[in-house]
Structures are given as C-alpha cells and as structure tokens.
Amino acid sequence: MAKPVSLFVCTECGAQTRQFFGRCSSCGSWNTLVEQAAAPPADQRRRRPVAAPDAPAAAPQPRRSEPIAAVGERPLQRLGSGYGELDRVLGGGLVPGSLVLLGGDPGIGKSTLLLQSAQSMAARTSVLYVSAEESAQQVKLRWRRLAEADPAGPAAVAAADLQLLSETDLELVLQELESLRPAVAIIDSIQALHDAELSSAPGSVAQVRECAAALARIAKRQHTALLLVGHVTKEGVLAGPKVLEHLVDAVLTFEGDRFASHRLLRAVKNRFGATHELGVFEMRDRGLAEVTNPSELFLGGDEPSSGTATIVACEGTRPLVVELQALVSTTSYASPRRSATGIPVNRLHQILAVLEKHMGLPLSRFDCYLAVAGGLEVEEPAADLGVAAAVVASYRDLTLPPGTVLIGELGLGGQLRPVSQLELRLGEAARLGFTRAVVPRGSGLGPVAAGLGLQLLEAATIAQALVAALGVNPADDG
C-alpha cells in the first residue's frame, strides 16, 4: 500500500503545500500551516452504485468545443425566495443549481432568514434544511414561531415540502441530499459540518473547504440550489474566505447593529446579478420583516438642527435618502480629533482639507465628528457635498433649510463633480417630500426636477453649492 502523503494547509487562507514552512507562502501568515493527511474527496470515497456487470459500459460523451454564437442560451429560471428583499440581492431570485454563501456575525439572523425563506420556497418546491448547529427541536420551535406569522396561512405552512435534518456528519448529509434530491438545500452552518475522514477539527479551513466542495459537487450534479451559512471570524472575514468565495456563485453578507432592529443584506459577489444591491429587513419578535421603504429608516425625522444635512446615496440601483450629522467644536488637543461613523474617515479628512483651503475655514483648529444615521455605511463620494454641508453648518451653527438634499462629489480643487444615477436619486428625494436639491452643474435635469416638484440648484464649486444650500456665504465672518 502506498504510504499516505502529508499535506500542509494554511489555516488562514487554505493554501496547500507538500512541505512545511514557518510562513505561508500564499498569504504570508506565520505559524498557520497545519499537517493534514491527504484523503480523497469525500464524495468520491463513497461507493457509487455499480451497473450490472454484463451491461455495456456507458461511454462518457466527450465534450466538444463549439462556436460561441452557436451555444444555446437558456434563460435563467429563478426561484423566488418569498422575500423581495432577498430576491433583489440575489439578482431576481435563487438560480437552480447555484451555490450561495450567506455570511454574517453570530446572532444577526442568518438562520432566521433562511428558515423563513425555506418555508416560503417549500410551498412551491422541495427544500431540505440541514441544521448542524441546533437540534431538530430548537429549529422546530423557531419554525413554529415563524409559521404563526406566515402570511400564507396555517394550511400552506403545514402543506409545505420542508424536510429538516439535524446532523453534523458530512457523509450523512451527502447521503440525504442524494436520496432526497431537493430543489433547494440549506446548510446551517458550513463550519459546523465535519468530514470524519479528515483529522482536522470542525470549522478548520481544511474541513470547511472539503465539506463545501463535496456538497457543491453533488448539488451541481443534481441541480440543487445550495445555500451555505458561514460565520464571520473575529477579524470580520468569512472563515476560509479564499476557499469558499471562489467555490460559490454568490456571497451575501447579512449585517446590522445588534442593538438596532434593522438588518442589511448585500451581495459582495454574484455571478447571476449585480453586486452592491441592498436588501433591508427588520428583526421582529416573529422573525424578519421586509423594509420596503428604507429611506424612512435613515432619516432623523426630528426637527432640523444645526450640523445635519441630507444626502441621497445609491446602493446598487437603490436610492436611499440618508441623514448625516456633524459636530465641530474647538479642540483641546495638540492635533484635532476626527472621527467618522458610516463614511471612510479618510474621506472626511479630505473634505475638511478642501473646506480649509478653498473656503478659508480654519477647521484644523476644531475637532470634527461625523455620523451617518441608522448605522448605514456610505462609501460613495456622492456623499461629499452633504458631508461638507453638515460640517460647515455645525461650524457656523446654521440650519439648512428644511426639504433640502445635497448630492455631489468634491474634487481636491474645490470643484463639484457629477455623480451617477442622479435622476434616480432626485426621484427618491421627491418621493419623500424633499423640495430642493443642490447638485453639480450641467446635469441637464432641470425639466425632470421641475416635473418632480423639486427646485434644482446647480453649482460648479463647493463655495457656490454651500451658498445655494445655506442662503448665506459661510466663508463670510459671521
């Protein structure tokens, strides 16, 4: 018998080598290589049903290339998850035979989201829910709680084709998948599964990779859509990120403040749709409810106060009206404090520098804090003008006229740059009752804005924009 070969696997990135190194040559981490006896992949180890000996062996069809123009196109059929917010992030629903990874912090609501959609999909197709973390009793209890609130009614809930398997052994999960051949299978979670043939501990990179790969092969073969739950590690990455992200068709993340009730679902990778689409849910006592009008969540709603400004951010194709708050106060430190929640702090530094240089505001002698309402992360530079307006309003103790939104990117020279999807943003602002929009010059959207009942104030520079927004020149000593 051949001597088993040892493999060394990096617990950080999943890279494999035949030789031991102190430092992983792939990701550069130290002391992360662990030894693992090489074993054939789990689904290939198992005995396949053998054909009768005298039956002619079915010759495998060689796959031939063909002209790309002649390749048949099949429209993607998608299975609705029962939740429009989840479907949007998936790109219009779950694609049969696809592999989706759902990541998020423990306790954020991944199991709840998937159990709810499993229940809804099971009314139309067959679904297998594998719980590797909780007992069947625990899942049943949650299911009952969710089922009571199910809009489809008790009869539909009882009739749904939802199978539950509480199991951590990969082999048994694979067997069940093969015998049931469900249209959809949910594995909650991939880190809790383990392959008994591998020596490493459950949740290790080697285990996660092997389990996911074996599940993926079977799912692709029998056209089962597979949803994998993945936990996020302390560093904020999906465990075994490199391994799993390459293997799957889509990576969704579920995030939100554990102290607030709303949850944001995003696609960070999607082979069947756009990324950066946003789905919004709210955690209630009977499961997750969809928030179809999220702008209302991110608006302060209080009386206008100095230091607040409203922007229209775009998450994928979805415009969101969001309130920003700034606090500017005289510093008592040698170097002033800057802190930003919800926008990159470097962006704040840059905007402060532009205001100092081009508006003559001595902001380097002031501390500056900035926060985005509702815990949203706004990365796009279209928020720049709103940030600048909030900072200047706080510095000058001014209140922006109510009903104003600010949209525009700030150049280092103090010029206002155009932003994408302006028409969409204006539409959302108008829908929520805003009446004035300060935007970069040359949008050509004057008539559109007028039709929406919005006064469009176009500006070429930050100075012009602030004068238009505030009605006074903030650079004048007040």
Binding site residues, ligand TYD, CB under 6 A: 104, 106-112, 142, 145, 283, 285-287
Ranges within 331-390 binding Mg ion (CB under 5 A): none
104: left (phi over 0), alpha (psi -120 to 50) or beta: left
Element (H, E) at 327: strand 318-330
Ranges within 108-137 binding Mg ion (CB under 5 A): 111
Residues 186, 192, 196, 201, CA torsion sign: positive
Element (H, E) at 127: strand 127-131
412 close to 354: Cβ distance less than 8 angstroms: yes
| CA neighbours closer than 13 Å in the CB half-sphere of residue 242 | 12
263 is in the binding site of which of ligand TYD, Mg ion, none (Cβ under 5 to 8 A by kind)? none
173 is in the binding site of which of ligand TYD, Mg ion, none (Cβ under 5 to 8 A by kind)? none
CB 365, min distance to ligand TYD, A? 45
Closer residue to ligand TYD (CB): 265 or 378: 265
Ranges within 178-237 binding Mg ion (CB under 5 A): none
- Compute, in degrees rounded to 10, the torsion defined by CA atoms 399, 405, 408, 413: -20
CB 146, min distance to Mg ion, A? 13
322 close to 377: Cβ distance less than 8 angstroms: no
CB 188, min distance to Mg ion, A? 6
Closer residue to ligand TYD (CB): 149 or 472: 149
Closer residue to ligand TYD (CB): 103 or 319: 103
Closer residue to ligand TYD (CB): 105 or 409: 105
Residues in the chain: 478
DSSP string for residues in 392-413: HHHHHT--PPTTEEE--EEPTT
476 is in the binding site of which of Mg ion, ligand TYD, none (Cβ under 5 to 8 A by kind)? none
Please write down the HEC assignment for all residues of 169-199.
EHHHHHHHHHHHCCCEEEEECHHHCECCCCC
109 is in the binding site of which of Mg ion, ligand TYD, none (Cβ under 5 to 8 A by kind)? ligand TYD
Amino acid identity of 58? A
Ranges within 52-111 binding Mg ion (CB under 5 A): 111
CB 283, min distance to ligand TYD, A? 5
Tokens of 441: 């010059």
Binding mask 143-172 for Mg ion (x = CB under 5 A): ------------------------------
Binding site for Mg ion (CB under 5 A): 111
